[in-house]
Structure 1
Amino acid sequence: MGEARPRRRVLVAGLGDTGILTAIHLARHHNVVGVSVKPGLVSGQEVGSRIARPDQWARDYWIPFDRFRGLDRVRTVQGTLTALDAPARTVRIRLADDTEITESYDALVISTGVRNGFWRRPTLQSADQVNAEVAATHERLAAAGSVAVIGGGAAAVSSAANIAGTWPTTEVSLFFPGDRALPQHHPRVWQQVRERLVSLGVDVHPGHRAALPAGFTADRITDDPVEWSTGQAPVHADAVVWAIGAVRPNTDWLPPEILDDRGFVRVTADLRVHGHDNVFAVGDVAATDPLRNSARNRADRLLARNVEAMFRGKRLREYRPRHRRWGSVLGVQDDGLEVFAPNGSRFRFPAWSIESVLQPWIVRRGIYGGVRDRRA
């Protein structure tokens, strides 16, 4: 029999979609500690479903950590990361009671993601606070007679479609600066999604760029008139959903020398942080490519292999990014789920297959390695 490999301590900073998957892979061979400001996976995916159908969204995208079978071997710490001491191989974490602790590591994985709009904020929250925030957003939009969605990315398009589909009598308008929305997707995707928006009654307004006042942060729903730097008359709505792509990385706790000029973590092709052989970064926080799409292209498995290769002194593999966004845009609808490939072609999961095949077998079992039922 071969000699057993030593179990090293790996700290995964950030337990969003990518961090959880990375931690699950690493825990098969190492002692893993995961740090998160939330008490479970509170995904930034499918914001349209989150605001329009929160119960359905929560079933698949708000999952306490103890329901993931693959995290049984991971020790989770709920707190806010405050500092990294790379020479000492430690991080500092502030807990909910405002005390601070230190955690050491042999390898560090940075997957703290980004803040973006009201649905991605690095705030320390209990389960009750997460539930209250999701419910409050839904109730605010349910009471609105008119909604303006500002932005041209998938979050904006999804929000407009799902609001219109859930509340057919609500006047929903989508405003974006370019000639088309979804500029990082294949042009064919916007053509198909636009048809769906129009069929739902969404008023589509290209060529509108919002004039943002000094200090404005797009992290809440507003009701003030929206003014435009492109010359159009101000727009009034009962609720204004801001999904303008004002992405900011959650890297305040990291030393500036490992960050690029926008605050994202600089990485080499093998996902290691520049100048630190035992520190890696993955997901939206990692400056892998212009789209920073390692999270969407399942780089979690590659990263886990590279951490193991680093420990064993073997060659690390390089991450090869895609050059277009792909995947779901609108989320699950009454007629199923459409998924778009990088070349713009689409595949539909029929409605009956979502809860009988896609979620239980492909996602919960195949991707996450098992997710316990809520009643367990």
Structure 2
Amino acid sequence: MQRVLIAGLGDTGVLTAIKLARHFEVTGISAKPGLLSGQELGVRIARPQEWARDYWTGFERFRGLDRVRTVHGTLAGLDLADRTVRVEAADSVRHEPYDILVISTGVSNGFWRRPHWQTAADIDADLHAVHRRLAAAETIAVIGGGAAAVSAAGNLAAALPGAAVGLYYPGDHALPQHHRRVWRRIEGRLRAHGVGLHPGHRAVLPETHDEITGDPVHWSTGQPAVHADAVIWAVGRVRPNTGWLPAELLDDGGFVRVTAQLQVPGHPEVFAIGDVAATDPLRASARSRADGLLARNIRAHAAGKPLRDYTPPKARWGSVLGAQPDGLEVFAPSGQVFRLPAWSVRKVLQPWIVRRGIYRGVRSG
């Protein structure tokens, strides 16, 4: 049986591993002891216990990973000739062999998406330390105009009504990668929660923008500096987690170059998916369920059959604010909104569609 090594067990890596486990000998490498999702930043920092219930899951809880060997370590190198990956664990170094390699290491982005090695206790401590820091703040400034920034501002304002929350973004409106209808609807919800909206503010990034800071925020667009007890930098300055890879596999931005079939050019046994893969300007394969196509292409490659092309979506879609007490709003690429009542999120969406349908069974934690 051929060996598939999945480098990175985030959302997309876990889904790919589950789909391949019955067809290959699968090993997954992760710096975390479970799936620590990068989704729903706003819920994560505003309601960490609720977020952890749905987005922080030990690997042992996934029934679909029962056939997958997981290695808790950090990726340190790739030998394309020998087809081995160097992995540094807490007290050892090992070289993991593969016949087929999947690169799904994602990106680093702010304080909530980092590739460093952590234990479960470390992760729990980080989640609650961030929330305590924000809950103690009387003023919070959120810098950025993307979905992460909008979600952070909206959820914090709803969870911390005593705090003054401001959202600062460089354009005339936030969510520039979504359909304009999405911002018009979300704008109303932010105003209803008391979020101060400040368009036309482009921040001068400090070296500490990967942390929650308390220093004044300065603007290259000329406005007076803003002072806040806590400043959240959600400016989209993502960095691909590819320092362990040979430069020949990467584009000028450090992302993994791929063909339309999600293969690395010149190395048909190496595939890439998710935020780390240079599939399209939005790098949307992590959010458009390309794991199914990838798994099919890997099986086809192993059997010598034709592979299918990945077609990325042209616009962002999905939730912006995440699940709220009154339900969940999901936006189509056209900007059309679909509302799910709160009871259906807890009793249908999470247990049946997500845990049982998408992840093929998740044990109680």
**What range is the shorter-chain TM-score in?**
over 0.9
Q: Is the 8 A contact 1:218 1:246 kept in 2?
A: no
| Identity level (%) | 67
How far, CA to CA, are the matches of 1:356 and 1:32 in structure 2? 32
Q: Which runs of 5+ in 1 are unaligned?
A: 1-6
Q: Per-residue displacement from partner, 1:313-334 (whole Å, max 9, x unpaired)?
A: 0000000000111100000111
Pair 1:188 & 2:181 matched = yes
User: Displacement, 1:355?
Assistant: 1.1
How far apart, CA to CA, are the structure 2 residues paired with 1:217 and 1:78?
28
State the AA in 1 paired with 2:13.
G
Which position in structure 2 is the counterpart of 1:200? 193
Q: Tell me how far 1:218 sits from its aligned partner.
A: 2.1
Summarize the alignment of residues 20-59 of structure 1 with structure 2, pairs less than 5 Å apart.
Answer: 20-59=14-53
RMSD between aligned alpha carbons?
0.6
Query: Residues of 2 paired with 1:178 and 1:352: CA distance?
Result: 36
Structure 1 stretches (4+) deviating beyond 6 angstroms? none
Deviation at 1:301, TM superposition (A): 0.8
Post-superposition offset of 1:87: 1.2
SS at match of 1:277: strand
CA distance in 2 between partners of 1:307 and 1:20 (Å) = 15
TM-score by length of 1: 0.96
Matched, 1:143 2:143: no
State the distance in 1 between where 2:84 and 2:27 align. 12
Superposition pairs of residues 214-225 of structure 1, within 5 angstroms? 216-225=207-216
- Distance in 1 separating the partners of 2:208 and 2:239: 11
Q: TM-score, normalised by structure 2?
A: 0.99
Question: Structure 2: which 5+ runs fail to align?
Answer: none
Pairwise CA distance, 1:217: 4.3
**Letter in structure 2 aligned against 1:346:** V
Using the alignment, how far apart are the partners of 1:228 and 1:292 within structure 2? 29
Local SS of the residue matching 1:220:
coil
Cα deviations across residues 284-340 of structure 1 (Å, max 9, x unaligned)? 000000000001110001001101100110000000000111100000111101000
- The answer for the alignment partner of 2:62 in structure 1 is 68
CA distance in 1, matches of 2:102, 2:243: 16
Aligned residue number for residue 71 of structure 2: 77
Task: State the match for 2:156 in structure 1.
Answer: 163
Q: Secondary structure at the residue paired with 2:285?
A: coil
Q: Write the deviation string for residues 208-242 of structure 1: whole angstroms up to 9, x where unpaired.
A: 000124xx142110000000000000000000000
Aligned partner of 1:3 in structure 2 is none
Residue 26 of structure 1 and its aligned partner are, at CA, apart by 0.6
Q: Could you give the per-residue CA deviations for residues 115-147 of structure 1, whole angstroms, max 9, x where no partner exists?
A: 001000011000000000001000000000010
Measured against aligned partners, the alpha-carbon deviations of 1:65-124 in whole angstroms (never above 9, x if no partner) come to 000000000000010101111111100000012x21000001000000000010000110
- Among 242, 245, 255, the alignment partner of 1:254 is 245
Letter in 1 for 2:159: T
Within 5 Å, give how 1:223-302 maps onto structure 2: 223-302=214-293
SS of residue paired to 1:10 = strand
For 2:90 and 2:157, how far apart are their aligned partners in 1? 38
SS class of match (1:301): helix
Deviation for aligned residue 1:169 = 1.3
Aligned counterparts of 2:10 and 2:245: Cα–Cα separation in 1: 18
The size of the alignment, in residue pairs, is 365
Alpha-carbon deviation of 1:356? 0.4
